[in-house]
């Protein structure tokens, strides 16, 4: 009620705000004013609307004011280097981008903006290209159209890791009145030299850098590709790079429209097969070998492969393993394989990729979930004798070369196209056949993720109770599959069940629990940092895919029952 009164008082001075407040019904009012939209280590994401628990210009100003104060404390006079701001195709995204510049500019921080939407990977690239002190990306990734979001970056083009994000959070939480945050208009900022619009110089540099990941740029192009950006930022760079590299690509033109409502798809998420419906229809028409889709901010990429009579959709783990296997095996043949290097994945990424990397003599580092941790590790390799080999996570994000310090669908889709083309031209095989070869060589790995949604005011409390149960109880088995080790990343402990010995974990604190099972895989429980859901990841390894599937199904039956008790 205190917050509502504050907003109503402000509305007396703002006719538009007063009108919008009057249109909110009682239920929406309660949710919109029941708390503050969470600003966490992954930034901020929420439903657009009025109120402190919604994504709007006022909560945006609060976030930017906190980020700006952090930048001034950390970089002091260096802030003249500026902050790069980009946005996706969502409703109000460009307005939110300008609002970010208006707040930072009022603090004396120069801002750069593109003339139109640009992708997350290009934003990451541009921060380093311009030697800026940070970056902002306005996007809600693959969430429904009613959402928008805000991600912040450091001077290396990497999302802020917890140690720095926590400093920003302190500054954000210190803001008591969102209506008193100072802003300056864009024209005034231009006159003061605190705002600059960017031309296509960075676009060209970004595309040329992406082309550098190719192993066989001159190989005949036979593979047929269908690509869709799902209405997002990938449209222009993906079309350009596939065309300039000589690929036979067809494009889902209806989804090249930057529609903020995503009217042609139920969800603009390349992890879901339904997002490919129009791509698949076009693929069958032109007899495409592969279908590629990217999400709205073009950091994730999904893949489907024509195999005999239908398109087979690959998971993020499968695509990542294939890319890693292809590139390492070819670089070995070409005798350009680095002597020392490191592959990066996360604690919820399939173990298949790490097995492949180690078979080629490379070390593997598994980070917490979130590409910012992989970007952080890439930075640590600078100045060492180890090279960055590959980085990926199960949620359809990959980087081949680390000139981008976040997931990059542009270099990834080019790498996928080259891989599919190579096997078609040189070996007359499709990627499913190659994947089966990998399974035969390394074992049949299967991964499945399930999300349990807990929306509304009680949602976070319910998820906390579930995590507390698994954290508190020493569960010995799941459906007969014995637990060997339990890792609790919140308490930073590792429990060895056979000896009951506890040891520490070196990774940062995170609300994650992982169980290693006797010879068959692992289980991870993790509440999402940006959405009202609890995610459960399970991996199994078996002699064939049928057995691997049975193991996962049986384990989920146990977990479903337990989580169902809290519904």
Which residues are CB-contacts of 142 (< 8 A; sequence separation ≥ 6)? Answer: 267, 268, 269, 270, 271, 295, 296, 300
Of the candidates 316, 323, 291, 343, the one whose C-alpha atom is nearest the C-alpha of residue 438 is 323
Cα dihedral across residues 346, 351, 356, 360: positive or negative: positive
Mean pLDDT over each residue of the chain, to the nearest integer: 95
| Inter-axis angle of helices 316-333 and 431-442, nearest 10 | 80
pLDDT of residue 523: 98
Phi, psi of 514 (to 5 degrees): -130, 135
Grade residue 481 by pLDDT with cuts at 50, 70 and 90.
very high
pLDDT in tens, 277-313: 999 999 999 999 999 999 999 999 999 999 999 999 9
- Percent of the chain having pLDDT more than 70? 100
Q: Which two tokens stand for residue 493?
A: 């402990």
**375 vs 542: CA distance, rounded Å:** 32
Domains and CATH numbers, the chain: 35-199 (3.40.120.10), 206-442 (3.40.120.10), 444-564 (3.30.310.50)
Catalytic residue among 141, 351, 354, 409: 141
Q: Which residue has the tokens 């311009």?
A: 130
Q: Starting at the edge strand that comes first in sequence, how are the strands of the sheet with 290-294 ordered?
A: 248-251, 224-228, 290-294, 301-307, 310-314
Tell me: the pLDDT tens digits for 209-268?
999 999 999 999 999 999 999 999 999 999 999 999 999 999 999 999 999 999 999 999
Q: Which of 149, 171, 31, 41 is nearest to 91 (CA)?
A: 149
Cα-Cα-Cα-Cα torsion 415, 420, 425, 428, nearest 10 degrees, comes to 150
Beta-bridged to residue 542, according to DSSP, are: 444
Separation of alpha carbons 102 and 114, rounded Å: 15
**pLDDT digit string, tens, across residues 259-280:** 999 999 999 999 999 999 999 9
Contacts of 115 (CB under 8 A, 6+ apart): 197, 198, 199
Model confidence at 63, in pLDDT bands (50, 70, 90)?
A: very high
Reported confidence tier of residue 530, pLDDT bands at 50, 70, 90: low
**Tens of pLDDT, residues 145-179:** 999 999 999 999 999 999 999 999 999 999 989 99
Mark whether 451 is an active-site residue. no
Separation of alpha carbons 354 and 85, rounded Å: 35
Contacts of 152 (CB under 8 A, 6+ apart): 43, 67, 134, 135, 136, 159, 160, 165, 168
Q: What is d(CA 247, CA 36) in angstroms, rounded to the nearest whole number?
A: 48
Rounded Cα distance between 52 and 29, Å, is: 10
Contact 206, 127 (CB under 8 A): no
Q: What angle do CA 174, 176, 178 make, to 5 degrees?
A: 110
User: What average pLDDT does this structure show over 37-55?
Assistant: 88
Model confidence at 36, in pLDDT bands (50, 70, 90)? confident
Contact yes or no for 98/111 (Cβ under 8 A): no
Q: Give me the half-sphere count of Cα atoms (radius 13 Å) on the Cβ side of residue 82.
A: 20
**Between β-strands 290-294 and 195-198, what pairing exists: parallel, antiparallel or unpaired?**
unpaired
Q: Where are the alpha helices (DSSP H) in 365-446?
A: 371-381, 409-427, 431-442
Cβ atoms 347, 367 nearer than 8 A: yes
pLDDT at position 1, please? 66
Distance, CA of 368 to CA of 348 (rounded, Å): 8
The residue-averaged pLDDT of 75-86 equals 96
């Amino acid at each position: 009620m205190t917050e509502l009164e504050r907003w109503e008082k402000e509305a007396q001075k703002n006719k538009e705000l007063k009108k919008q407040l009057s249109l909110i019904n009682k239920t929406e009012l309660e949710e919109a004013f029941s708390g503050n939209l969470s600003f966490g280590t992954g930034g901020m994401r929420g439903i657009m609307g009025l109120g402190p628990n919604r994504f709007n210009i006022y909560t945006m100003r609060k976030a930017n004011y906190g980020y700006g104060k952090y930048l001034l404390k950390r970089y002091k006079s260096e802030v003249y280097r500026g902050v790069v701001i980009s946005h996706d195709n969502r409703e109000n995204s460009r307005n939110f981008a300008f609002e970010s510049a208006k707040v930072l500019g009022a603090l004396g921080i120069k801002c750069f903006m593109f003339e139109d939407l640009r992708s997350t990977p290009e934003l990451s690239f541009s921060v380093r290209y311009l030697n800026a002190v940070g970056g902002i990306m306005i996007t809600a990734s693959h969430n429904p159209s009613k959402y928008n979001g805000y991600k912040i970056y450091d001077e290396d083009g990497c999302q802020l890791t917890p140690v720095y994000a926590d400093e920003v959070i302190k500054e954000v939480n210190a803001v008591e009145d969102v209506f008193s945050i100072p802003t300056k208009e864009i024209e005034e900022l231009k006159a003061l030299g605190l705002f600059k619009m960017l031309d296509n110089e960075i676009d060209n540099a970004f595309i040329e850098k992406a082309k550098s990941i190719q192993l066989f740029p001159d190989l005949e192009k036979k593979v047929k590709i269908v690509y869709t950006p799902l209405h997002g930022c990938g449209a222009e760079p993906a079309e350009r790079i596939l065309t300039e590299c000589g690929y036979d690509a067809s494009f889902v033109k209806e989804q090249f429209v930057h529609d903020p409502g995503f009217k042609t798809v139920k969800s603009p998420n390349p992890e879901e097969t339904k997002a490919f419906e129009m791509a698949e229809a076009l693929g069958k028409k032109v007899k495409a070998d592969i279908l590629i889709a990217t999400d709205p901010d073009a950091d994730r990429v999904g893949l489907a492969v024509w195999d005999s009579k239908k398109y087979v959709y690959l998971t993020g783990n499968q695509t990542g393993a294939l890319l890693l296997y292809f590139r390492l095996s070819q670089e070995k043949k070409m005798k350009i394989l680095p002597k020392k290097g490191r592959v990066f994945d996360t604690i919820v990424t399939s173990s298949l990729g790490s097995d492949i990397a180690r078979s080629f003599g490379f070390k593997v580092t598994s980070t917490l979930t979130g590409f910012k941790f992989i970007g952080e590790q890439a930075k640590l390799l600078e100045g060492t004798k180890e090279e960055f080999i590959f980085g990926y996570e199960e949620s359809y994000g990959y980087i081949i070369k680390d000139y981008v310090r976040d997931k990059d669908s542009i270099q990834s889709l080019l790498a996928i196209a080259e891989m599919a083309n190579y096997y078609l031209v040189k070996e007359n095989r499709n990627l499913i056949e190659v994947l089966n070869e990998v399974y035969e060589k390394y074992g049949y790995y299967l991964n499945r993720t399930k999300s349990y949604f807990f929306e509304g005011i009680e949602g976070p409390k319910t998820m906390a109770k579930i995590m507390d149960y698994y954290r508190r109880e020493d569960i010995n088995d799941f459906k007969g599959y014995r637990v060997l080790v339990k890792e609790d990343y919140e308490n930073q402990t590792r429990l060895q069940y056979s000896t009951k010995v506890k040891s520490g974990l070196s990774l940062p604190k995170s609300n994650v629990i992982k169980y290693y099972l006797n010879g068959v895989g692992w289980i991870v429980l993790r509440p999402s940092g940006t959405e009202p859901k609890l995610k459960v990841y399970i991996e199994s390894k078996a002699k064939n895919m049928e057995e691997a599937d049975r193991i996962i199904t049986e384990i989920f039956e146990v977990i479903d029952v337990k989580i169902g008790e809290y519904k």
